[in-house]
Structure 1
Protein backbone atom coordinates (compact mmCIF):
# COMPACT_ATOMS: atom_id res chain seq x y z
CA UNK A 1 0.00 0.00 0.00
CA UNK A 2 1.31 3.47 -0.88
CA UNK A 3 0.73 6.67 1.06
CA UNK A 4 1.53 10.29 0.38
CA UNK A 5 3.93 10.16 3.36
CA UNK A 6 5.49 7.46 5.53
CA UNK A 7 3.85 6.66 8.90
CA UNK A 8 5.91 7.58 11.98
CA UNK A 9 7.86 4.69 13.49
CA UNK A 10 7.91 3.73 17.17
CA UNK A 11 9.19 0.85 19.33
CA UNK A 12 5.79 0.81 21.04
CA UNK A 13 3.72 -0.39 18.09
CA UNK A 14 3.96 -2.36 14.87
CA UNK A 15 2.11 -1.49 11.68
CA UNK A 16 0.71 -3.74 8.97
CA UNK A 17 -1.64 -3.33 6.03
CA UNK A 18 -4.01 -6.33 5.90
CA UNK A 19 -6.54 -4.76 3.52
CA UNK A 20 -6.53 -2.02 0.91
CA UNK A 21 -7.14 1.24 2.75
CA UNK A 22 -6.75 -0.35 6.20
CA UNK A 23 -3.87 0.16 8.64
CA UNK A 24 -3.54 -2.23 11.59
CA UNK A 25 -1.65 -0.75 14.57
CA UNK A 26 -0.63 -3.27 17.24
CA UNK A 27 0.76 -2.28 20.64
CA UNK A 28 4.13 -4.01 20.92
CA UNK A 29 4.91 -4.34 24.66
CA UNK A 30 4.04 -7.94 25.60
CA UNK A 31 6.51 -7.92 28.49
CA UNK A 32 4.64 -5.00 30.05
CA UNK A 33 1.10 -6.30 29.47
CA UNK A 34 0.90 -3.80 26.58
CA UNK A 35 0.90 -0.83 28.95
CA UNK A 36 2.02 2.39 27.27
CA UNK A 37 4.55 4.81 28.85
CA UNK A 38 4.41 8.58 28.34
CA UNK A 39 6.66 8.45 25.27
CA UNK A 40 4.38 5.81 23.80
CA UNK A 41 1.41 8.15 24.17
CA UNK A 42 3.25 10.85 22.24
CA UNK A 43 4.24 8.33 19.56
CA UNK A 44 0.64 7.23 19.13
CA UNK A 45 -0.44 10.88 18.98
CA UNK A 46 1.96 11.35 16.06
CA UNK A 47 0.54 8.25 14.39
CA UNK A 48 -3.08 9.45 14.78
CA UNK A 49 -2.11 12.88 13.42
CA UNK A 50 -0.42 11.26 10.42
CA UNK A 51 -3.48 9.08 9.89
CA UNK A 52 -5.88 12.04 10.00
CA UNK A 53 -3.80 13.82 7.35
CA UNK A 54 -3.32 10.75 5.14
CA UNK A 55 -6.05 10.97 2.52
CA UNK A 56 -5.31 7.53 1.07
CA UNK A 57 -5.91 5.73 4.35
CA UNK A 58 -9.60 5.14 5.08
CA UNK A 59 -9.52 3.15 8.30
CA UNK A 60 -7.12 2.44 11.12
CA UNK A 61 -7.68 -0.57 13.35
CA UNK A 62 -6.15 -0.56 16.82
CA UNK A 63 -6.98 -1.61 20.38
CA UNK A 64 -9.42 1.05 21.54
CA UNK A 65 -11.20 3.76 19.57
CA UNK A 66 -14.64 4.32 18.09
CA UNK A 67 -15.55 0.65 18.40
CA UNK A 68 -14.38 -1.87 20.99
CA UNK A 69 -13.59 -5.50 20.19
CA UNK A 70 -11.83 -7.88 22.59
CA UNK A 71 -11.22 -11.55 23.39
CA UNK A 72 -12.86 -13.43 26.25
CA UNK A 73 -9.66 -13.19 28.32
CA UNK A 74 -9.58 -9.38 28.19
CA UNK A 75 -10.00 -7.45 31.42
CA UNK A 76 -10.72 -3.76 32.03
CA UNK A 77 -10.27 -1.54 35.08
CA UNK A 78 -9.37 1.88 36.43
CA UNK A 79 -7.12 0.79 39.32
CA UNK A 80 -5.66 4.24 40.08
CA UNK A 81 -7.60 4.78 43.33
CA UNK A 82 -6.06 1.58 44.72
CA UNK A 83 -2.65 3.21 44.39
CA UNK A 84 -3.55 6.59 45.86
CA UNK A 85 -4.00 8.49 42.58
CA UNK A 86 -6.81 8.97 40.07
CA UNK A 87 -7.32 8.58 36.31
CA UNK A 88 -5.98 12.03 35.47
CA UNK A 89 -5.46 11.56 31.73
CA UNK A 90 -9.14 11.81 30.80
CA UNK A 91 -10.31 8.33 31.73
CA UNK A 92 -12.91 9.49 34.24
CA UNK A 93 -14.62 11.97 31.93
CA UNK A 94 -14.60 9.63 28.93
CA UNK A 95 -15.87 6.69 30.98
CA UNK A 96 -18.72 8.79 32.36
CA UNK A 97 -19.70 9.87 28.84
CA UNK A 98 -19.75 6.27 27.61
CA UNK A 99 -21.47 4.39 30.44
CA UNK A 100 -23.16 7.07 32.56
CA UNK A 101 -22.58 8.29 36.09
CA UNK A 102 -23.71 5.22 38.05
CA UNK A 103 -21.72 2.60 36.13
CA UNK A 104 -18.69 4.89 35.84
CA UNK A 105 -18.81 5.43 39.60
CA UNK A 106 -18.83 1.69 40.24
CA UNK A 107 -15.88 1.09 37.91
CA UNK A 108 -13.75 4.02 39.08
CA UNK A 109 -14.59 4.03 42.80
CA UNK A 110 -14.10 0.29 43.33
CA UNK A 111 -11.17 -0.21 40.95
CA UNK A 112 -12.43 -3.72 40.30
CA UNK A 113 -11.71 -5.73 37.17
CA UNK A 114 -14.45 -5.71 34.52
CA UNK A 115 -15.10 -8.72 32.25
CA UNK A 116 -15.79 -8.45 28.50
CA UNK A 117 -19.39 -9.51 29.11
CA UNK A 118 -19.87 -6.65 31.56
CA UNK A 119 -18.16 -4.31 29.12
CA UNK A 120 -20.60 -5.28 26.38
CA UNK A 121 -23.59 -4.91 28.71
CA UNK A 122 -22.28 -1.47 29.69
CA UNK A 123 -21.74 -0.56 26.02
CA UNK A 124 -18.00 0.01 25.81
CA UNK A 125 -17.42 -3.35 24.09
CA UNK A 126 -18.99 -4.05 20.68
CA UNK A 127 -17.87 -7.60 19.97
CA UNK A 128 -16.22 -10.47 21.86
CA UNK A 129 -14.23 -13.31 20.29
CA UNK A 130 -12.44 -16.34 21.73
CA UNK A 131 -8.94 -15.95 20.28
CA UNK A 132 -6.55 -13.22 19.17
CA UNK A 133 -6.73 -14.52 15.61
CA UNK A 134 -10.52 -14.39 15.53
CA UNK A 135 -10.38 -10.92 17.10
CA UNK A 136 -8.22 -9.64 14.25
CA UNK A 137 -10.53 -11.21 11.68
CA UNK A 138 -13.59 -9.72 13.39
CA UNK A 139 -12.11 -6.23 13.41
CA UNK A 140 -10.96 -6.60 9.80
CA UNK A 141 -14.49 -7.60 8.81
CA UNK A 142 -15.70 -4.34 10.32
CA UNK A 143 -12.90 -2.56 8.47
CA UNK A 144 -13.97 -4.13 5.17
CA UNK A 145 -17.53 -2.92 5.64
CA UNK A 146 -16.46 0.59 6.61
CA UNK A 147 -13.87 0.94 3.83
CA UNK A 148 -16.57 0.36 1.19
CA UNK A 149 -18.27 3.64 2.13
CA UNK A 150 -17.65 7.15 0.87
CA UNK A 151 -14.47 8.59 2.45
CA UNK A 152 -16.18 11.99 2.64
CA UNK A 153 -19.23 10.53 4.39
CA UNK A 154 -17.02 8.62 6.82
CA UNK A 155 -15.05 11.73 7.78
CA UNK A 156 -18.20 13.75 8.44
CA UNK A 157 -19.98 10.88 10.20
CA UNK A 158 -17.05 10.32 12.57
CA UNK A 159 -16.75 14.06 13.17
CA UNK A 160 -20.48 14.31 13.86
CA UNK A 161 -20.42 11.50 16.39
CA UNK A 162 -17.40 12.95 18.17
CA UNK A 163 -18.86 16.46 18.14
CA UNK A 164 -22.07 15.22 19.78
CA UNK A 165 -20.08 13.15 22.30
CA UNK A 166 -17.84 16.05 23.29
CA UNK A 167 -20.33 18.91 23.04
CA UNK A 168 -23.22 17.32 24.93
CA UNK A 169 -25.76 19.55 23.14
CA UNK A 170 -27.55 18.09 20.13
CA UNK A 171 -28.45 21.38 18.44
CA UNK A 172 -24.98 22.84 18.90
CA UNK A 173 -23.30 19.65 17.66
CA UNK A 174 -25.50 19.46 14.55
CA UNK A 175 -24.98 23.15 13.83
CA UNK A 176 -21.20 22.89 14.16
CA UNK A 177 -20.94 19.93 11.79
CA UNK A 178 -23.29 21.42 9.20
CA UNK A 179 -21.44 24.73 9.25
CA UNK A 180 -18.10 22.99 8.78
CA UNK A 181 -18.97 20.31 6.22
CA UNK A 182 -22.31 20.79 4.43
CA UNK A 183 -21.08 22.94 1.55
CA UNK A 184 -18.03 20.74 1.02
CA UNK A 185 -19.81 17.37 1.09
CA UNK A 186 -22.85 18.42 -0.97
CA UNK A 187 -20.63 19.91 -3.64
CA UNK A 188 -18.14 17.05 -3.63
CA UNK A 189 -17.38 14.38 -6.22
CA UNK A 190 -18.16 11.50 -3.89
CA UNK A 191 -21.78 12.53 -3.34
CA UNK A 192 -22.29 12.76 -7.11
CA UNK A 193 -20.62 9.35 -7.53
CA UNK A 194 -22.73 7.77 -4.80
CA UNK A 195 -25.97 8.99 -6.36
CA UNK A 196 -24.84 7.91 -9.84
CA UNK A 197 -23.92 4.44 -8.57
CA UNK A 198 -27.34 4.13 -6.92
CA UNK A 199 -29.14 5.09 -10.13
CA UNK A 200 -26.99 2.78 -12.26
CA UNK A 201 -27.12 -0.10 -9.73
CA UNK A 202 -23.34 -0.48 -9.53
CA UNK A 203 -20.57 -0.26 -6.96
CA UNK A 204 -19.35 3.31 -6.35
CA UNK A 205 -15.86 4.31 -7.43
CA UNK A 206 -14.90 6.72 -4.69
CA UNK A 207 -12.19 9.35 -5.12
CA UNK A 208 -9.79 10.71 -2.51
CA UNK A 209 -11.49 12.92 0.02
CA UNK A 210 -10.91 16.64 -0.38
CA UNK A 211 -12.46 17.56 2.97
Structure 2
Protein backbone atom coordinates (compact mmCIF):
# COMPACT_ATOMS: atom_id res chain seq x y z
CA UNK A 1 0.00 0.00 0.00
CA UNK A 2 2.99 2.33 0.21
CA UNK A 3 3.02 4.91 2.98
CA UNK A 4 -0.03 4.58 5.15
CA UNK A 5 -1.80 7.81 6.14
CA UNK A 6 -2.73 8.33 9.78
CA UNK A 7 -6.05 6.50 10.03
CA UNK A 8 -8.10 5.66 13.10
CA UNK A 9 -7.67 1.99 12.21
CA UNK A 10 -5.92 0.04 9.50
CA UNK A 11 -7.89 -0.93 6.40
CA UNK A 12 -8.92 -4.59 6.40
CA UNK A 13 -6.92 -7.05 4.27
CA UNK A 14 -8.16 -7.40 0.71
CA UNK A 15 -6.43 -10.11 -1.32
CA UNK A 16 -7.10 -9.64 -5.01
CA UNK A 17 -7.77 -5.91 -4.62
CA UNK A 18 -4.96 -3.39 -4.21
CA UNK A 19 -5.85 -0.53 -1.88
CA UNK A 20 -3.86 2.69 -2.00
CA UNK A 21 -4.26 6.30 -0.87
CA UNK A 22 -2.52 8.37 -3.57
CA UNK A 23 -3.98 11.68 -2.42
CA UNK A 24 -5.48 13.14 0.71
CA UNK A 25 -9.12 12.10 1.28
CA UNK A 26 -9.12 9.66 -1.68
CA UNK A 27 -8.98 5.85 -1.63
CA UNK A 28 -8.15 3.89 -4.78
CA UNK A 29 -9.31 0.26 -4.92
CA UNK A 30 -7.94 -1.70 -7.88
CA UNK A 31 -9.31 -5.19 -8.50
CA UNK A 32 -6.08 -7.00 -9.30
CA UNK A 33 -6.79 -10.31 -11.00
CA UNK A 34 -5.98 -9.37 -14.62
CA UNK A 35 -5.32 -12.96 -15.73
CA UNK A 36 -8.91 -13.76 -14.66
CA UNK A 37 -10.16 -10.51 -16.25
CA UNK A 38 -10.65 -9.22 -12.70
CA UNK A 39 -13.45 -11.69 -12.00
CA UNK A 40 -14.26 -11.90 -8.31
CA UNK A 41 -14.13 -15.07 -6.18
CA UNK A 42 -16.44 -15.47 -3.21
CA UNK A 43 -13.94 -14.48 -0.54
CA UNK A 44 -13.15 -11.19 -2.26
CA UNK A 45 -16.80 -10.10 -2.15
CA UNK A 46 -16.64 -10.18 1.63
CA UNK A 47 -13.22 -8.56 1.84
CA UNK A 48 -14.36 -5.65 -0.33
CA UNK A 49 -17.53 -5.36 1.74
CA UNK A 50 -15.34 -4.95 4.84
CA UNK A 51 -13.12 -2.48 2.98
CA UNK A 52 -15.94 -0.15 1.97
CA UNK A 53 -17.54 -0.35 5.41
CA UNK A 54 -14.18 0.74 6.81
CA UNK A 55 -13.98 3.50 4.16
CA UNK A 56 -17.35 4.89 5.29
CA UNK A 57 -16.23 4.96 8.93
CA UNK A 58 -12.77 6.45 8.37
CA UNK A 59 -13.26 10.21 8.96
CA UNK A 60 -10.35 11.41 6.82
CA UNK A 61 -11.57 9.70 3.64
CA UNK A 62 -14.23 11.38 1.48
CA UNK A 63 -14.37 9.59 -1.86
CA UNK A 64 -13.20 6.31 -3.39
CA UNK A 65 -12.26 5.24 -6.90
CA UNK A 66 -12.70 1.64 -8.01
CA UNK A 67 -11.08 0.25 -11.14
CA UNK A 68 -9.55 -2.92 -12.54
CA UNK A 69 -5.93 -3.84 -13.18
CA UNK A 70 -4.75 -3.97 -16.78
CA UNK A 71 -6.49 -2.65 -19.89
CA UNK A 72 -8.66 -5.64 -20.84
CA UNK A 73 -11.30 -5.59 -18.11
CA UNK A 74 -12.72 -3.60 -15.23
CA UNK A 75 -14.43 -6.76 -13.95
CA UNK A 76 -16.20 -9.53 -15.82
CA UNK A 77 -18.30 -10.65 -12.87
CA UNK A 78 -18.12 -13.82 -10.82
CA UNK A 79 -15.28 -16.27 -11.10
CA UNK A 80 -17.26 -18.86 -13.09
CA UNK A 81 -14.39 -21.35 -12.92
CA UNK A 82 -14.64 -21.29 -9.13
CA UNK A 83 -18.43 -21.72 -9.28
CA UNK A 84 -18.15 -24.67 -11.67
CA UNK A 85 -15.50 -26.31 -9.50
CA UNK A 86 -17.70 -26.03 -6.41
CA UNK A 87 -20.72 -27.46 -8.23
CA UNK A 88 -18.72 -30.40 -9.58
CA UNK A 89 -17.06 -31.13 -6.25
CA UNK A 90 -20.36 -31.71 -4.50
CA UNK A 91 -19.13 -29.42 -1.73
CA UNK A 92 -22.12 -28.70 0.49
CA UNK A 93 -20.32 -26.61 3.10
CA UNK A 94 -22.50 -23.69 1.98
CA UNK A 95 -25.16 -25.17 4.29
CA UNK A 96 -23.03 -24.40 7.34
CA UNK A 97 -20.79 -21.66 5.92
CA UNK A 98 -23.02 -19.76 3.46
CA UNK A 99 -20.75 -16.72 3.52
CA UNK A 100 -18.29 -18.70 1.39
CA UNK A 101 -20.74 -19.04 -1.49
CA UNK A 102 -22.88 -15.94 -1.25
CA UNK A 103 -22.62 -12.20 -1.56
CA UNK A 104 -22.73 -9.89 1.47
CA UNK A 105 -25.84 -7.74 1.94
CA UNK A 106 -24.01 -4.95 0.09
CA UNK A 107 -23.94 -7.12 -3.02
CA UNK A 108 -21.30 -7.90 -5.59
CA UNK A 109 -17.82 -6.85 -4.38
CA UNK A 110 -19.54 -5.08 -1.49
CA UNK A 111 -20.72 -2.36 -3.91
CA UNK A 112 -23.57 -3.44 -6.23
CA UNK A 113 -26.24 -3.16 -3.48
CA UNK A 114 -24.31 -0.88 -1.16
CA UNK A 115 -26.17 2.03 0.42
CA UNK A 116 -23.08 3.44 2.05
CA UNK A 117 -22.33 6.96 3.18
CA UNK A 118 -19.63 8.26 0.83
CA UNK A 119 -19.41 8.30 -2.97
CA UNK A 120 -17.52 5.93 -5.25
CA UNK A 121 -16.23 6.85 -8.71
CA UNK A 122 -15.97 3.90 -11.11
CA UNK A 123 -13.20 4.02 -13.71
CA UNK A 124 -14.16 1.43 -16.33
CA UNK A 125 -11.19 0.10 -18.29
CA UNK A 126 -12.29 -2.57 -20.76
CA UNK A 127 -15.05 -5.08 -20.07
CA UNK A 128 -17.61 -4.49 -17.30
CA UNK A 129 -19.77 -7.59 -17.56
CA UNK A 130 -22.30 -9.23 -15.27
CA UNK A 131 -21.49 -8.35 -11.68
CA UNK A 132 -18.77 -6.04 -12.94
CA UNK A 133 -21.38 -3.83 -14.58
CA UNK A 134 -23.61 -4.20 -11.53
CA UNK A 135 -20.78 -2.65 -9.50
CA UNK A 136 -20.69 0.34 -11.85
CA UNK A 137 -24.48 0.70 -11.93
CA UNK A 138 -24.46 1.42 -8.20
CA UNK A 139 -21.45 3.73 -8.18
CA UNK A 140 -22.08 7.47 -7.93
CA UNK A 141 -20.04 8.58 -10.94
CA UNK A 142 -18.93 6.38 -13.85
CA UNK A 143 -16.10 7.26 -16.24
CA UNK A 144 -15.43 4.88 -19.12
CA UNK A 145 -12.41 4.48 -21.33
CA UNK A 146 -13.12 4.56 -25.09
CA UNK A 147 -12.60 0.78 -25.17
CA UNK A 148 -15.02 0.04 -22.33
CA UNK A 149 -17.77 -2.50 -22.96
CA UNK A 150 -20.81 -3.22 -20.79
CA UNK A 151 -23.18 -6.15 -20.61
CA UNK A 152 -25.30 -8.49 -18.50
CA UNK A 153 -24.73 -11.84 -20.22
CA UNK A 154 -26.03 -14.03 -17.37
CA UNK A 155 -29.09 -15.30 -19.26
CA UNK A 156 -26.77 -16.74 -21.91
CA UNK A 157 -25.23 -19.12 -19.36
CA UNK A 158 -28.46 -20.03 -17.59
CA UNK A 159 -28.25 -17.46 -14.79
CA UNK A 160 -29.63 -13.99 -14.16
CA UNK A 161 -28.08 -10.76 -12.90
CA UNK A 162 -28.72 -11.17 -9.18
CA UNK A 163 -26.35 -8.49 -7.88
CA UNK A 164 -28.96 -5.72 -7.89
CA UNK A 165 -28.16 -4.38 -11.35
CA UNK A 166 -31.45 -5.07 -13.11
CA UNK A 167 -33.61 -2.58 -11.17
CA UNK A 168 -30.84 0.00 -11.30
CA UNK A 169 -30.51 -0.44 -15.05
CA UNK A 170 -34.25 0.16 -15.46
CA UNK A 171 -34.24 3.24 -13.22
CA UNK A 172 -31.41 4.74 -15.28
CA UNK A 173 -32.14 3.64 -18.85
CA UNK A 174 -35.86 2.81 -18.78
CA UNK A 175 -37.77 -0.43 -19.23
CA UNK A 176 -37.37 -0.91 -22.97
CA UNK A 177 -33.64 -0.22 -23.16
CA UNK A 178 -32.97 -2.29 -20.03
CA UNK A 179 -35.09 -5.16 -21.32
CA UNK A 180 -33.31 -5.32 -24.66
CA UNK A 181 -29.85 -5.26 -23.06
CA UNK A 182 -30.60 -7.79 -20.31
CA UNK A 183 -32.80 -10.19 -22.31
CA UNK A 184 -30.40 -10.43 -25.25
CA UNK A 185 -27.27 -10.36 -23.10
CA UNK A 186 -25.61 -8.18 -25.73
CA UNK A 187 -22.61 -5.98 -25.03
CA UNK A 188 -22.81 -2.22 -25.51
CA UNK A 189 -20.02 0.23 -26.26
CA UNK A 190 -18.91 3.17 -24.17
CA UNK A 191 -20.59 5.50 -26.67
CA UNK A 192 -23.93 3.73 -26.36
CA UNK A 193 -23.61 3.68 -22.57
CA UNK A 194 -23.04 7.46 -22.64
CA UNK A 195 -26.05 7.91 -24.94
CA UNK A 196 -28.19 5.90 -22.49
CA UNK A 197 -26.99 7.95 -19.48
CA UNK A 198 -25.26 4.86 -18.08
CA UNK A 199 -21.89 6.61 -17.79
CA UNK A 200 -21.03 10.22 -17.03
CA UNK A 201 -18.30 10.64 -19.61
CA UNK A 202 -15.78 8.87 -21.80
CA UNK A 203 -12.14 9.59 -21.05
CA UNK A 204 -9.93 11.12 -23.73
CA UNK A 205 -8.00 7.85 -23.92
CA UNK A 206 -7.47 4.63 -22.01
CA UNK A 207 -4.22 6.08 -20.68
CA UNK A 208 -5.92 9.14 -19.16
CA UNK A 209 -8.82 7.24 -17.56
CA UNK A 210 -7.46 7.14 -14.00
CA UNK A 211 -6.23 10.75 -14.17
CA UNK A 212 -9.69 11.88 -15.23
CA UNK A 213 -11.27 9.81 -12.46
CA UNK A 214 -8.99 11.56 -10.00
CA UNK A 215 -10.02 14.95 -11.41
CA UNK A 216 -13.62 14.16 -10.50
CA UNK A 217 -12.66 12.66 -7.13
CA UNK A 218 -10.71 15.81 -6.23
CA UNK A 219 -13.71 18.00 -7.01
CA UNK A 220 -15.89 15.81 -4.80
CA UNK A 221 -13.32 15.76 -1.99
CA UNK A 222 -13.10 19.58 -2.08
CA UNK A 223 -16.70 20.20 -1.00
CA UNK A 224 -17.90 20.26 2.60
CA UNK A 225 -17.61 16.73 4.09
CA UNK A 226 -21.02 17.21 5.74
CA UNK A 227 -22.66 18.49 2.54
CA UNK A 228 -21.10 15.61 0.61
CA UNK A 229 -22.68 12.98 2.85
CA UNK A 230 -26.07 14.70 3.00
CA UNK A 231 -26.28 15.47 -0.72
CA UNK A 232 -25.44 11.87 -1.59
CA UNK A 233 -28.04 10.62 0.90
CA UNK A 234 -30.66 12.93 -0.64
CA UNK A 235 -29.89 11.70 -4.15
CA UNK A 236 -30.07 8.06 -3.06
CA UNK A 237 -33.32 8.64 -1.20
CA UNK A 238 -34.83 10.17 -4.33
CA UNK A 239 -33.80 7.11 -6.33
CA UNK A 240 -35.32 4.66 -3.85
CA UNK A 241 -38.39 6.44 -2.49
CA UNK A 242 -41.69 6.23 -4.39
CA UNK A 243 -42.50 9.89 -3.69
CA UNK A 244 -40.28 12.86 -4.51
CA UNK A 245 -41.76 14.86 -1.65
CA UNK A 246 -41.27 12.01 0.80
CA UNK A 247 -37.67 11.65 -0.32
CA UNK A 248 -37.12 15.33 0.46
CA UNK A 249 -38.82 15.03 3.85
CA UNK A 250 -36.73 12.02 4.90
CA UNK A 251 -33.42 13.73 4.15
CA UNK A 252 -34.50 17.09 5.59
CA UNK A 253 -35.74 15.57 8.82
CA UNK A 254 -32.66 13.42 9.17
CA UNK A 255 -29.95 15.96 8.45
CA UNK A 256 -30.97 19.62 8.33
CA UNK A 257 -30.56 20.49 12.01
CA UNK A 258 -27.32 18.52 12.25
CA UNK A 259 -25.92 20.35 9.25
CA UNK A 260 -26.80 23.80 10.53
CA UNK A 261 -25.49 23.03 14.01
CA UNK A 262 -22.18 21.73 12.68
CA UNK A 263 -19.02 23.73 12.03
CA UNK A 264 -18.83 23.19 8.27
CA UNK A 265 -21.95 25.15 7.33
CA UNK A 266 -20.64 28.15 9.29
CA UNK A 267 -17.17 27.74 7.77
CA UNK A 268 -18.54 27.54 4.24
CA UNK A 269 -20.57 30.72 4.63
CA UNK A 270 -17.64 32.57 6.26
CA UNK A 271 -15.28 31.49 3.50
CA UNK A 272 -17.76 32.67 0.86
CA UNK A 273 -18.09 36.08 2.53
CA UNK A 274 -14.33 36.42 3.00
CA UNK A 275 -13.57 35.20 -0.54
CA UNK A 276 -11.20 32.46 0.60
CA UNK A 277 -10.98 28.68 0.42
CA UNK A 278 -12.88 26.97 3.25
CA UNK A 279 -11.03 24.94 5.87
CA UNK A 280 -13.35 22.01 6.42
CA UNK A 281 -13.62 20.05 9.64
CA UNK A 282 -13.88 16.29 9.69
CA UNK A 283 -17.52 15.27 9.38
CA UNK A 284 -19.24 13.79 12.42
CA UNK A 285 -22.29 12.63 10.47
Contact 2:144-2:190 within 8 A present in 1 as well: yes
Deviations, residues 140-192 of structure 1 (Å, cap 9, x unaligned):
00011111100000000111111111123211111111111111001110000
TM-score, normalization by structure 1: 0.96
Structure 1 stretches of 4+ moved >6 Å:
none
Higher relative contact order (CA 8 A, sep 6+): 1
Structure 2 equivalent of residue 99 of structure 1:
173
For the pair 1:54 / 2:58, whether they are aligned, the reply is yes
Structure 2 equivalent of residue 152 of structure 1:
226
TM-score, normalization by structure 2: 0.72
Contact 1:12-1:27 within 8 A present in 2 as well: yes
Answer with 35-44 or 93-102: which moved more. 35-44
For the pair 1:6 / 2:10, whether they are aligned, the reply is yes
Q: How well do the aligned residues superpose, as a CA RMSD in angstroms? A: 1.2
Deviations, residues 105-156 of structure 1 (Å, cap 9, x unaligned):
0110110011000010111111212544300000000011111100000000
Deviations, residues 68-123 of structure 1 (Å, cap 9, x unaligned):
11211111100011111211221211111121111100110110011000010111
Structure 1 equivalent of residue 260 of structure 2:
186
Distance 1:198 1:111 in 2: 50
The match for 1:21 among 20, 25, 32 is 25
How many residues end up aligned between the 2 structures? Answer: 211
Higher strand share: 2
Answer with 126-135 or 70-79: which moved more. 126-135
**Equivalent residue runs for 1:83-122 within 5 Å:** 83-122=157-196
Higher helix share: 1
What 5-or-longer segments of structure 1 have no aligned partner?
none
For the pair 1:167 / 2:241, whether they are aligned, the reply is yes
Distance 1:130 1:58 in 2: 26
Distance 1:58 1:163 in 2: 19
